[in-house]
């Protein structure tokens, strides 16, 4: 939708160049499991990966 943004908004990156993509936004399935689309078996989307520090 960035090419057809509401009210004709234009979005810029940190270098002042227009951007082609605003990224991805999802909500997890619930606060206990915190699973996104990739964690739920879908081919695309966000995947939450746990990292354990020593």
pLDDT digits (tens, 9 = 90+) for 8-43: 888 898 899 999 888 778 899 999 988 999 999 999
Residue 18 DSSP SS3: strand
Contact present, 8 and 2 (Cβ < 8 Å): no
Rg, Å, the chain Cα set: 16
Residue 1 has pLDDT above 80, yes or no: no
What are the structure tokens assigned to 7, written together?
A: 């009210």
Alpha-carbon separation of residue 11 from 2, 26, 44 (angstroms): 8, 20, 24
pLDDT for 31: 92
Task: Supply the pTM of this predicted model.
Answer: 0.48
């Amino acid at each position: 939708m960035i090419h057809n943004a509401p009210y004709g908004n234009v979005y810029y990156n940190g270098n002042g160049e227009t951007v082609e993509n605003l990224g991805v936004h999802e909500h997890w399935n619930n606060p206990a499991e915190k699973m996104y689309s990739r964690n739920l078996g879908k081919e695309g989307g966000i995947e939450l990966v746990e990292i354990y520090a020593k």
